[in-house]
Structure 1
Amino acid sequence: MPHALPAQRDIPTFNGEKLYVNDGLLQPDQVGQLRESSPDMPMNELLRRYNEDGYVYLKGLLPRADVLKAREEYFKMLAPSGVLKPGTQPVEGIFDSDNDAADFPGIGAGAAGGNGKPGAETAERFVDLALDAHYADWYKETFCKHAVLKDFIARMTGWGDSTLGVRRSLLRNNTPGNKAIGVHYDQIFLRHGEPTSVTAWIPIGDISLTGGGLIYLENGHTLGREIEAHFTRKSKDSGFTEEETKNAFNQNMLSTGLLADGPREYSNSFNRRWLVTTYEAGDIVLHTPYTIHASTMNFDKNNVIRVGTDLRFVDASKPWDKRWDHDYRFNDGV
């Protein structure tokens, strides 16, 4: 049963740092360490960890230089919006703190209802450039199709030549002080296919503990399965059609498709910790479609903009959600 949210104590959350989420400061008993794995470990052990933990956090799988090149290209594209601090290099991705953070919002996963376009008119230039980055060759044709990543997933899953990188991806930024990603699991948005996809979350650049990285709910994949089964039963009891049941934005969900906006209260309600870590360029996290995750707010001390991407892989020999067979766009119903 959910518990009442305790009083918030103004003390460090983890390793001497304060970690904030959309609904406040995470408390020390609400967090733990995300488990690291080496890509050089036996594949059967990595698969065991993926299945048992709901994720596998792989240190240095991708060449660091390749990731930093993508980061540099990204901020070269966004620089005309004025997002970067004058005198800094694009690869650094340093936010100009003289700006209003509201003019530089993130996209996707709760940024706007129904996956709509976020921000006011003053944010339009930045948001349009962030969207355009999805279609650039350096991202779409080079980074998203990185052979090292696809080969690793093909071997870990045993899918082999049937391993398919899904075309729709989400290249997301989080400028300091803006809203973080809310609580969700990916199958909410992939219900037109079997729940067998693998998500690769890739930090595009180093992310400090306070820099807005992804956080994973401890044993969240088991809870995610339970919640999805409950949603399915509730939808049937409500007389939903099959199509309405599969809709991520149906009346049993938030308008954003999220489970909740606030990770702090969510942790307390289900008595589970959020697992946190720092990330380095080259790291990736593979997680299941039911793994519950969110992010912290970005309060990086050096105003580093957090950038990451969600790449999804499926077994092409089995049914998968073909609504994802296009490049990312706003208001696409996913």
Structure 2
Amino acid sequence: MLSSNGYVLDESDSRLGRLEPVPRRELGDRALLWERLRRDGYLYLRKALDPAYVMAFRRHYFETLAESGLVNAGTDPADGISGAGDLDRARFRELLFGRIVPGREYADFCTQPALRDWFAWLFEADPFLHRRKIIRHGRPGEAGIGTATQAHYDLVYLREGTDRLLSAWIPLGDCPLARGGLTYLEGSHHVVRRHEASERRQHPAASITADLPALAEQHDARWLVADYEAGDVVVHSPHIVHASLDNTDPDGVMRLSTDIRYQRRDDPIDWRWGQDWHIDDGL
């Protein structure tokens, strides 16, 4: 049973589907990839990154935060088994925003050649990575509004720059359905583009809703899901609606992921994204 913020998804064929990976034969064809992006709003790139490097960074994250009580004592931090006791939230925030987010390991991960060079190739231009990069974990058993990422599209938070940017959502470790990965509302980028181009008021910088089943009914569309693996990357349009599922992993494994944004360096850049991410940065 899949849910998001406690709302149970309709798993009928008309409301739930699977993300379509880019076929291997198309990976080197820039024109076909742009055609897919325009049509589908996303590129699901299987094993685009070295899984060993992904798992090494996963270990770094959980090892750094272990002293806050996030990780179950006596387990391998790379497994990401959720701690059973109370979380020291003050220490957690200190370590996350003081060490991990501004750290060299995170910067190196997000600018590794498999990402930076790929975006340079796709854009046919010098790529620019927004400094504001978000990294999140999801603990099993958390449910209710506010525990999972609510439905939204990225452009509402990036209006001070170009809309010709792309987000990369990267699962940092295996992320089967039960672990609460990202889900995309099929075809929603077409609706959002029309809305953004119209004379109607632009959507504010806020989530659309936590009620994913109702949104699917409203759009008569499917939520698309996948069993992600370490090394996978989903590149998506700033117009496509997406959200995360609840983590119901029976073994207590936390989901860890990061989402980063690349654009052409010569396009307008949203100045608000020029600082490291912080939970209180107002975006």
Same fold (TM over 0.5): yes
* Match status 1:149 vs 2:115: yes
Task: Please name the residue that 1:278 is paired with.
Answer: 227
Distance (Å, rounded) in 1 between the aligned partners of 2:116 and 2:236? 14
Task: Please name the residue that 1:263 is paired with.
Answer: 212
Which of residues 16, 36, 40 is equivalent to 2:21?
36
Task: Please name the residue that 2:201 is paired with.
Answer: 234
Cα gap change, 1:137/1:166 in structure 2, threshold over 3 Å: closer, same or farther? same
Report if the CA contact (8 A) 1:67-1:204 is conserved.
Answer: yes
Task: Please name the residue that 1:183 is paired with.
Answer: 151
Distance (Å, rounded) in 2 between the aligned partners of 1:212 and 1:191? 28
Which of residues 78, 94, 104 is equivalent to 1:137?
104
Distance (Å, rounded) in 2 between the aligned partners of 1:153 and 1:54? 16
* Match status 1:307 vs 2:256: yes
Cα gap change, 1:25/1:87 in structure 2, threshold over 3 Å: closer, same or farther? same
Post-superposition Cα deviations, 1:54-106, rounded to whole Å, max 9, x if no partner, equal 0000000111111111100000111001121222101110112x336xx5xxx
Which of residues 189, 193, 211 is equivalent to 2:179?
211
Q: Secondary structure at the match of 1:177?
A: coil
Task: Please name the residue that 2:160 is paired with.
Answer: 192
Displacement of 1:287:
0.3
Displacement of 1:306:
0.6
Displacement of 1:124:
2.7
Task: Please name the residue that 1:253 is paired with.
Answer: none
Counterpart amino acid of residue 101 in structure 2: H
**RMSD, matched Cα:** 1.8
Task: Please name the residue that 1:57 is paired with.
Answer: 44
Post-superposition Cα deviations, 1:98-136, rounded to whole Å, max 9, x if no partner, equal 336xx5xxxxxxxxxxxxxxxxxx633323323331012
Which of residues 56, 60, 64 is equivalent to 1:69?
56
Distance (Å, rounded) in 2 between the aligned partners of 1:327 and 1:52? 32
Q: Secondary structure at the match of 1:32?
A: strand
| Identical counterparts, % of pairs | 35
Distance (Å, rounded) in 2 between the aligned partners of 1:177 and 1:210? 11
Displacement of 1:173:
1.0
Q: Secondary structure at the match of 2:170?
A: strand
Task: Please name the residue that 2:71 is paired with.
Answer: 84
Cα gap change, 1:278/1:321 in structure 2, threshold over 3 Å: closer, same or farther? same
Counterpart amino acid of residue 228 in structure 1: E
Post-superposition Cα deviations, 1:127-182, rounded to whole Å, max 9, x if no partner, equal 33233310121112x111111111112212322xx211111100111111221110
Distance (Å, rounded) in 2 between the aligned partners of 1:39 and 1:127? 40
Which runs of 5 or more structure 2 residues have no equivalent in the other structure?
Answer: none
Counterpart amino acid of residue 2 in structure 2: L
Counterpart amino acid of residue 323 in structure 1: R
Q: Secondary structure at the match of 1:37?
A: coil
Q: Secondary structure at the match of 1:28?
A: coil
Task: Please name the residue that 1:113 is paired with.
Answer: none
Distance (Å, rounded) in 2 between the aligned partners of 1:292 and 1:281? 23
Would you identify which runs of 4 or more consecutive aligned residues in structure 1 move more than 3 Å? 226-230
Displacement of 1:209:
1.0
Q: Secondary structure at the match of 1:51?
A: helix
Q: Secondary structure at the match of 1:210?
A: helix
Task: Please name the residue that 1:163 is paired with.
Answer: 127
Q: Secondary structure at the match of 1:286?
A: strand
Which runs of 5 or more structure 1 residues have no equivalent in the other structure?
Answer: 1-17, 104-121, 236-244, 249-256
Comparing 217-226 with 190-199, which one deviates more in the overlay?
Answer: 217-226
How many residue pairs match? The answer is: 274
Distance (Å, rounded) in 2 between the aligned partners of 1:198 and 1:323? 17
Query: Given the two structures, how large is their TM-score scaled by the length of structure 1?
Result: 0.78
Cα gap change, 1:22/1:330 in structure 2, threshold over 3 Å: closer, same or farther? closer
Q: Secondary structure at the match of 1:56?
A: strand
Displacement of 1:264:
1.7
Distance (Å, rounded) in 1 between the aligned partners of 2:195 and 2:249? 33
Counterpart amino acid of residue 68 in structure 1: M
Q: Secondary structure at the match of 2:178?
A: coil
Counterpart amino acid of residue 227 in structure 2: T
Displacement of 1:40:
5.4
Report if the CA contact (8 A) 1:211-1:299 is conserved.
Answer: yes
Displacement of 1:38:
4.3
